[in-house]
Amino acid sequence: MKKTIYDYNFASKKVLLRVDFNVPINNGRITSDVRMQAELPTIKYLLSQQAKIIICSHLGRPDGIPNKKYSLKPVFEHLKELLPNTKIYFCPETVGENAKKMADNLKDGEILLLENLRFEKGEEENSEEMVAALSSLADIFVFDAFGTSHRKHASTYGVAKKLPSAMGLLVQKEVESFDKILASPEKPFVAILGGAKISDKIDVIKNLLSKVDTVLIGGGMCFTFLKAIKGNVGASLVDDEKLDFCYDIIKTAINKKIKIILPVDFVCSENIYDEKGAEIYKLDKIPDDKMGLDIGPKTIKLFKKHIKKARTIFWNGPMGVYEKDMFKNGTKSVAELIAKNKRCTSVVGGGDVVSAVEEFGFEENFSHISTGGGASLKLMEGKELPAISVLSDK
């Protein structure tokens, strides 16, 4: 078990808090502050403990070179609005003499926000100099940027080796939610997989075969499975290099008595832009010049039977091209069916499904919506996250 923020007394301590303030910014204005709002409970707890908080984050991909476009200054202005009763300072450098002086001058219950971590080359390289510079700023390290936890960067991994450390409240919720579904899932455990790229999910599928009872497969990736068992998929997306893998997965599932449920009908069109020409076809009846771009009504009915009975659900990847009105019904219906199952623990991971669930307004009905696409897939592959494994043990 890793230490949490409740395992330390932070009074008068300098705390380096690694957050994910990688917010969308347009013309110097933050267009969504969801990530900042989500971090407030950890910040407020540390403030209530009279800590001196030094916040660090990345923003965009400046690739180790300072660039005004990626400055955290707008984040600083907004943080002051979110915490009007707290004294907050901004350091125009990430590390160095000035940052050290400003950190040392902090009083209890004050905050210092450092400039973008990725303005320093040593951040992504996890260089010794960057680790030393960052860890010299504080007494304790709190890691609360789950989306970066599969990366060994100076601010995610390096500092945790130098300072006593803990998970922040956001990371704690992510870890507990995934532990719950991976270590002791209530059965039946149903995994729902979709999206376009099968290659990203190979290790997830392999690992899930030792945990779940049923796998529902939709999205573009279902066609490689269907073609592997000699289905006619018209012009749908197929990854020919993965046909053998899909065939083996189906065989393994049969041997293990795990159900793999594939779609039986589709909303098809000539391409993703041809929404007007969309028609429903059964599997094997898809014309050669049409591609499946969403699961059809019979498939939704079929998936419903399994979603209704599930006590644990993990979902990654949309059921169709949900970005287009004509092809979003499958993803929306699956989100709605999960939302209606009040007795199941439901965990969603991966950027596309998270945005779909939020767009359709079902986020309150899920047990956990993971903020880290890549990191959540790594956990589902059964792998460790370096930035979490390295944190202090209880």
Between the CA of residue 20 and those of 226, 372, 378, 392, what are the distances in Å? Answer: 39, 10, 18, 20
Q: Are 108 and 12 in contact (CB under 8 A)?
A: yes
* Closer of 102 and 291 to ligand AMP (Cβ): 291
* Closer of 88 and 196 to ligand AMP (Cβ): 196
Structure tokens at 258: 């795990």
C-alpha dihedral sign at 287, 291, 293, 295: positive
* Closer of 142 and 286 to ligand AMP (Cβ): 286
Minimum CB separation of residue 122 from ligand AMP in Å reads 31
Minimum CB separation of residue 30 from ligand AMP in Å reads 25
* 1 vs 235: CA distance, rounded Å: 49
* Closer of 165 and 236 to ligand AMP (Cβ): 236
* Closer of 189 and 315 to ligand AMP (Cβ): 315
Antiparallel, parallel or unpaired: β 345-348 and 368-369: parallel
* Closer of 83 and 272 to ligand AMP (Cβ): 272
Structure tokens at 129: 């100099």
Between the CA of residue 125 and those of 118, 121, 122, 378, what are the distances in Å? Answer: 10, 7, 5, 21
Minimum CB separation of residue 153 from ligand AMP in Å reads 23
Minimum CB separation of residue 86 from ligand AMP in Å reads 39
* Closer of 91 and 217 to ligand AMP (Cβ): 217
At 362, give phi and psi (nearest 5°).
-105, 5
Largest CA distance in the chain: 71
Q: Is 372 helix (H, G, I), strand (E, B) or coil?
A: coil
Task: Give residue number: closest CB to ligand AMP.
Answer: 195
Q: Which residues are catalytically annotated?
A: 35, 197, 351, 374
* 226 vs 192: CA distance, rounded Å: 16
At 256, give phi and psi (nearest 5°).
-90, 5
Minimum CB separation of residue 201 from ligand AMP in Å reads 7
Residue closest to 112 by CA, chosen among 41, 53, 36 = 53
Helix (H) or strand (E) run with residue 223 in it: helix 222-228
DSSP assignment of 54-103 equals: EEE---S--TTS--GGG-SHHHHHHHHHHSTTS-EEEESSSSSHHHHHHH
Minimum CB separation of residue 269 from ligand AMP in Å reads 10
Minimum CB separation of residue 300 from ligand AMP in Å reads 14
Between the CA of residue 354 and those of 287, 310, 381, what are the distances in Å? Answer: 32, 20, 19
Question: Which residues make up the interface to ligand AMP (CB under 6 A)?
Answer: 195-197, 200, 219-220, 237, 292-293, 317-318, 320-321, 323, 350, 352
